[in-house]
Amino acid sequence: MSQELTVAEIEAFLTRQYAADDPVRQAMEAYARERSFPIVGPLVGRHLYQLARMIGARRVFELGSGFGYSALFFCRAVGPQGTVHCTDLSAENIRLAEKFLTQAGLWERVVYHLEDALAALERTGGEWDIIYNDVSKSLYPQTIEPAYRHLRPGGLFITDNIFWGGRPLRGDNSPSTAGVVEFTRRLFEHQGFLTTVLPIRDGVAVALKL
């Protein structure tokens, strides 16, 4: 008789497939574990790298970057001619990102904005190949239209934490959960995006600008 696999079992199996030969990534993961700092983890990180490579991304804008874990994967994907713009409200997080990404030989590909993520996107302007969204969940609905305006046709709007720890399925009515639920509904209804959700880790929405 077949036995249903749990998400944790699937994640553990996939994680074991990764070679432990990336000291900078491992150092960043250790830092996150020690401080309970949320990061996307290697499964989602690898997928971010793959998506960026698949569309030949050279310009990436992150709405919320923390200490640069997801930027590590995007920086590797965009290559030496590419640029990853990161945003965070913590100078300490930016200092840590500089330390880790310098160790990886990638800091020259980064522009870090110490300001509100959406304000930085509007101020910077231009068209982007990828906009990655990991701001406060209550603000998620506010990111859709700015992302649409600033993505090139064929660009990707990628959003983490769509499952939000299962809260949307349990009737939680906190502002953060309400933001995720409203965001997901509006993103799927948006006529300018083709959206799917990848059921890895905490759920990753990938919306293609048509």
Q: Which residue has the higher pLDDT, 156 or 165?
A: 156
Q: Give per-residue pLDDT as tens, 3-24.
A: 777 777 888 888 888 767 799 9
Measured in residues, the chain has a length of: 210
Angle of helix 7-15 relative to helix 41-54, nearest 10 degrees? 70
Q: Where are the alpha helices (DSSP H) in 55-90?
A: 69-78
What is the arrangement of strands in the sheet containing 193-198, beginning at the earlier edge strand? 110-114, 83-88, 59-63, 128-133, 151-160, 204-209, 193-198
Rg (CA), the chain: 17
pLDDT the model gives residue 16: 82
Name residue 84's amino acid. V
CATH of segment(s) 7-209? 3.40.50.150
For 20-74, what is each residue's pLDDT tens digit? 779 999 999 999 999 999 999 999 999 999 999 999 999 999 999 999 999 999 9
pLDDT, position 18 = 75
User: Residue 42's pLDDT is what?
Assistant: 93
Query: CA angle 46-145-206, nearest 5°?
Result: 25
CA 150 to mean position of chain CA atoms: 17
* Secondary structure class of 193 (helix, strand, coil): strand
Q: Where are the domains of the chain?
A: 7-209
What is the structure's pLDDT at 169? 86
Q: What is the mean pLDDT of residues 154-168?
A: 96
Which pLDDT score, from 0 to 100, does residue 2 have?
A: 59
Instruction: Quick: pLDDT tens for 166-203.
Output: 899 888 989 999 999 999 999 999 999 999 999 999 99
Question: What pLDDT score was predicted for residue 19?
Answer: 67
Alpha carbon distance 31, 34 (integer Å): 5
Beta bridge partners of 61: 85, 131
> pLDDT tens digits, residue range 77-99?
999 999 999 999 999 999 999 99
pLDDT at 21: 76
Predicted local confidence at residue 1, as pLDDT: 46
